[in-house]
Amino acid sequence: MDKVEFKKYTSREIIRRATEIVADDIVTKCDNESAVSEWILSRMNFEPLRFVAYKTPCIGDFICLVASDDIYHVPRDVFLGRNIVE
């Protein structure tokens, strides 16, 4: 049986919208049965933010916003490897 072929693609230059999880944030896992975990970020004086994660989010990690229904967790090492953080 043949293997699925993966082609190389060059990424477009993009500006990514993200927020870093800081020590004062409260991150809680939602109770659900899906394969991807849903979480909520609670930050003082801001609306709670629902996002998805494949790994447990930690302080210093990032949450990226693609669209209002596409918000996801990115571990710090992955985010820093793909983005310029000033």
Q: What is the dihedral of CA 4, 55, 61, 19, to 10 degrees?
A: 80
Q: DSSP letter string over 4-49?
A: PP----PPPP-PPEEEE--TT-EEEE----SSSEEEEEE-TTS--E
Distance between CA atoms of residues 43 and 27, nearest Å: 9
Per-residue model confidence as pLDDT tens digits over 14-40 = 888 999 999 999 999 997 766 679 999
Q: Which residues contact 60 (CB under 8 A, 6 or more apart)?
A: 20, 21, 76
Distance between CA atoms of residues 24 and 5, nearest Å: 44
Per-residue model confidence as pLDDT tens digits over 37-85 = 999 999 999 999 999 999 999 999 999 999 999 999 999 999 999 998 9
Distance between CA atoms of residues 23 and 21, nearest Å: 7
Which pLDDT value is given to residue 31? 79
